[in-house]
Amino acid sequence: MSDRLFIFDTTLRDGEQVPGCQLNTVEKIQVAKQLELLGVDVIEAGFPISSPGDFNSVIEISKAVTWPTICALTRAVQKDIDVAADALKYAKHKRIHTGIGTSDEHIKYKFNSNREEIIERAVAAVKYAKKYVDDVEFYAEDAGRTDNEYLARVVEAVIKAGATVVNIPDTTGYCLPSEYGEKIKYLMEHVDGIDRAVISTHCHNDLGMATANTMAGVLNGARQVEVTINGIGERAGNTSLEEVAMILKCHKHIGIDTNINTQKIYPTSRMVSSLMNMPVQPNKAIVGRNAFAHSSGIHQDGVLKNVQTYEIIDPHDVGIDDNSIVLTARSGRAALKNRLHVLGIDLEQDKLDKVYEDFLKLADKKKDINDDDILVLAGADRSQNHRIKVDYLQVTSGVGVHSVASLGLDISGEKFEACASGNGPVDAAIKALKKIINRQMTLKEFTIQAISKGSDDMGKVHMQVEYDGHVYYGFGANTDIIAASVEAYIDCINKFKL
Ligand code: KIV
Ligand code: ZN
């Protein structure tokens, strides 16, 4: 009989902390429902005391989702726990995730405290959370750099206080897989009452070892993993859900199963990437565009003879379906509605009408509309209420000529126009834009990515613009990449705190 590993998804909490990736409540509900379809056991829906937006998202996700446990993060502080319990009031299955730093660095510099006092605070927080919910998870922040003997004392104390799950985060992504595995093994062997709680991994990818560390934890007794879709998360990110799920599926001999419906992995990855405006690196394991693309002649020859020569995963097992390019200009509203539903998006009639209108415009320019295009269209209303909109844009460019752009903007109903030349079409268009919006702004990052393939494809543009000491993130998508670039720049400007 195989063992069961619980999948705790923190895309909407640790993942969402990435600058520029913030979602609104409607988008978070969309992701949460997709995570439910994917089969995750726990959804960490937010950190309710941190903002009214997070508080509200935990409430709404609790209402929208049935099977997974909804978890809310707190510090080891009573007020945090009160607010988290309130936010979880509609959850069918609820968990409070409370904790405190346990490494000497955290104890000394963050809390100006000592080891004994930290244990007291940890125990008090767990006991306090237990007044509200049965299921209390404790995290020992920076456990990766906490010595094992002291960590074991903390874990024993919080289990005694009632913690049902104990999370051992490698907060800084510092541990080697052998060290992290040893840490979990040490706890399994030295903590009295360890069988009364589930030990959880929570690994960060600063040294590219998050998945390896998570697996080392699992192989040594952890039975919950904290992961995110596409491995998104602060800095270098968190452990990828899809990697852990597929490792266990490919290595059946390990004898550990999850509840993940792996065929939902790819659609979920696309949805999160699209809503968070966070491109997936092409060579990302499992979900990257090139993950199943064989380009060397030797590999192609082998795969044509028998896919098993070079492929350890059948792309269909993770939901990559070559036939998913289904919609064209002749597809009706019902087909679009159905495809959106398959992608986990159910729209109200007026929103569906708007997306269908945009779909027809896009289908005029592009023969096949794929799932990524549809996800971009469904998320497009994020720019509808923008103060600044493009009225028109005309650019001439080519080899041996200077690029020139004329741009018309509508700013809260008033019309503005400008012309500029530049060393390329994007440069010319942005210079024209800066003539109208005359502020000290600096373009810090600029990426253009085709959504799938074909010269008629949509281009997605991500930008970071610095203004008045802050960095703003913007996104644009258009079959014309110059227009997408201007849209992304304007998306940043529309977010300026003025
Ligand atoms: O990385 C970390 O330590 C965390 C905790 C708050 C669980 O995200
Ligand atoms: Zn974390």
Q: DSSP string covering 5-55, please?
A: -EEEE-TTTTGGGSTT----HHHHHHHHHHHHHHT-SEEEEE-GGG-HHHH
The pTM assigned to this predicted structure is 0.81
Token pair 């080392």 is found at 216
Q: Which two tokens stand for residue 65?
A: 């989702």
Of the candidates 463, 450, 449, 451, the residue with the CA atom closest to the CA atom of residue 491: 463
Residues with CB under 6 A from ligand 1: 14, 139, 141, 167, 169, 171, 202, 204
What confidence score (pLDDT) does residue 1 get? 57
pLDDT, tens digit, for every residue of 172-231? 999 999 999 999 999 999 999 999 999 999 999 999 999 999 999 999 999 999 999 999
Domains and CATH numbers, the chain: 3-275 (3.20.20.70), 297-381 (no CATH), 386-493 (3.30.160.270)
Angle at 109 between CA 116 and CA 212, to 5 degrees: 85
Rg of the chain in Å (alpha carbons): 25
Angstrom CA distances, 378 to 269, 373, 374, 416, 458, stand at 16, 9, 6, 29, 14
CA of 37 to the centre of ligand 2 (A): 24
**Candidate from 9, 141, 158, 224 with most ligand 1 atoms within 8 A of CB, to mutate:** 141
CA of 479 to the centre of ligand 1 (A): 40
Q: What is the DSSP track for 86-133?
A: HHTTT-SSEEEEEEEE-SHHIIIIIT---HHHHHHHHHHHHHHHHTT-
> Phi and psi (nearest 5°) for 266?
-65, -50
| For the CA of 139, the nearest atom of ligand 1 | 7
What confidence score (pLDDT) does residue 367 get? 75
Note the ligand closest to the C-alpha atom of 106: 1
* Residues 1 and 252 sit within 8 Å (Cβ to Cβ): no
CA of 171 to the centre of ligand 2 (A): 6
3-state secondary structure of 444: strand
Quick check: 450 pLDDT over 80? no
Q: What is the Cα–Cα distance from 246 to 460, expressed in whole angstroms?
A: 29
Other CB atoms closer than 10 Å to residue 108's CB: what's the count?
12
pLDDT, tens digit, for every residue of 330-382? 888 888 888 888 777 888 898 899 899 989 988 888 777 877 788 888 876 55
CA of 436 to the centre of ligand 1 (A): 44
Quick check: 463 pLDDT over 90? no
Of the candidates 74, 75, 69, 73, the residue with the CA atom closest to the CA atom of residue 94: 69
**Candidate from 96, 202, 206 with most ligand 1 atoms within 8 A of CB, to mutate:** 202
Quick check: 449 pLDDT over 60? yes
> Exposed, middle or buried: residue 415 (CB in 10 Å: 0-12, 13-18, 19+)?
exposed
CA of 139 to the centre of ligand 2 (A): 10
